[in-house]
């Protein structure tokens, strides 16, 4: 019981430290504020069950990002067809709070926010981790489960794509 309480305190402490940046990372990945909150919650519950199994976490930030990344990628894979159908009909039964209700994005950054989302997931996640969250190549590789060289090469190509999109003003949903 004491260990459970200790694990819970640890998770709450991590939540207070990293939840904001984790939420923004997930949000940039999926562009759905409500879903981002759900995935953020799942991230901390998964971290809690990890601690409950008696495992240690040396680098909590990297650990939490890796957990959030895995959950987000799983979500994208599972919900991509559904999202396309929803977009097609544009008719959510229970839309919940809109992005605007939950978050606010400065107009100056909206174009970049949308441009990032229009990139392929690989480019998007590596750019966010390296350039927005400013993780090192090593940590980014650990979070994504890639080699460091893949991180560098994918980042290079991703930034080129992003620059092209911003110059062309092509920030539609077509991900490339």
Partner 1 sequence: MDNHNKMDEQLRNLDKDIQWSPRGQQRVRRRVIHNMNQTTHPLRSLFKKWLIPTFSILLFAAIITTLVLSEVTDQKIADDSGQNGQHSTHIVSGDDQENASDENDNNDQNHSKPDHSTQHRHNNNGGEKPATNESNKTDSAQSDDTESQKQTLTQDDILAVVKRQMDTDLNISLPSTLPLNDGNHLTATTSSDATSYNVTFYEHTEPIPINNKLLFSDKNPAHVIARLRVQQYDNQAKADEAIGHEIFSESGGKEVDLGPGTTGYQDGAAGSLFTSWNVGRWALSVKTSTNNSETGLAYARKTVQYLNEKALPIPKPHGFAHLDPENNSTRIKWQKGKTVYTIDQTNDPDTSLTIAVQFK
What is the Cα–Cα distance from 109 to 60, expressed in whole angstroms?
Answer: 29
Tell me which residue of 103, 104, 42, 100 sits closest to 68, measured CA to CA: 42
Out of 30, 40, 68, 143, the only residue in the binding site for partner 1 (CB under 8 A) is: 40
**Applying CB under 8 A, does 44 fall inside the site for partner 1?**
yes
Q: State which residue, 27 or 144, has the beta carbon closest to partner 1.
A: 27
Question: In this chain, which stretch among 35-43, 83-91, 138-146, 147-155 interacts with partner 1, using CB under 8 A?
Answer: 35-43
Q: How far is the CB of 7 from partner 1 (least distance, A)?
A: 8
**Applying CB under 8 A, does 157 fall inside the site for partner 1?**
no
Q: How far is the CB of 157 from partner 1 (least distance, A)?
A: 14
Out of 53, 106, 169, 174, the only residue in the binding site for partner 1 (CB under 8 A) is: 106
What is the Cα–Cα distance from 27 to 117, expressed in whole angstroms?
Answer: 10
Q: How far is the CB of 54 from partner 1 (least distance, A)?
A: 14
Q: How far is the CB of 81 from partner 1 (least distance, A)?
A: 27
Out of 31, 113, 121, 150, the only residue in the binding site for partner 1 (CB under 8 A) is: 113
Residues contacting 141, CB < 8 A, separation 6+: 147, 148, 150, 151
Q: How far is the CB of 128 from partner 1 (least distance, A)?
A: 8
71-80, long-range: CB < 8 A, 24+ apart: 71/39, 71/42, 71/43, 71/46, 72/26, 72/29, 72/30, 72/39, 73/121, 73/125, 75/30, 75/35, 75/39, 76/29, 76/30, 76/121, 79/35
Site residue total, partner 1 (CB under 8 A) = 45
């Amino acid at each position: 019981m004491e260990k459970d309480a200790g694990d819970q305190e640890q998770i709450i402490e991590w939540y207070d430290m990293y939840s904001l940046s984790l939420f923004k990372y997930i949000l940039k990945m999926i562009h759905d504020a409500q879903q981002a909150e759900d995935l953020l919650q799942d991230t901390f519950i998964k971290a809690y069950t990890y601690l409950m199994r008696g495992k240690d976490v040396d680098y909590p930030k990297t650990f939490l990002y890796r957990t959030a990344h895995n959950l987000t990628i799983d979500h994208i894979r599972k919900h991509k067809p559904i999202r396309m159908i929803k977009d097609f009909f544009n008719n959510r039964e229970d839309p919940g709070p809109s992005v605007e209700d939950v978050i606010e994005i400065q107009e100056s950054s909206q174009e970049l926010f949308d441009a990032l989302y229009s990139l392929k997931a690989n480019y998007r996640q590596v750019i966010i981790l390296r350039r927005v969250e400013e993780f090192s190549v090593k940590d980014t590789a650990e979070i994504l489960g890639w080699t460091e060289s893949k991180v560098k090469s994918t980042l290079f190509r991703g930034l080129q794509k992003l620059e092209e999109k911003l110059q062309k003003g092509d920030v539609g949903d077509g991900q490339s």
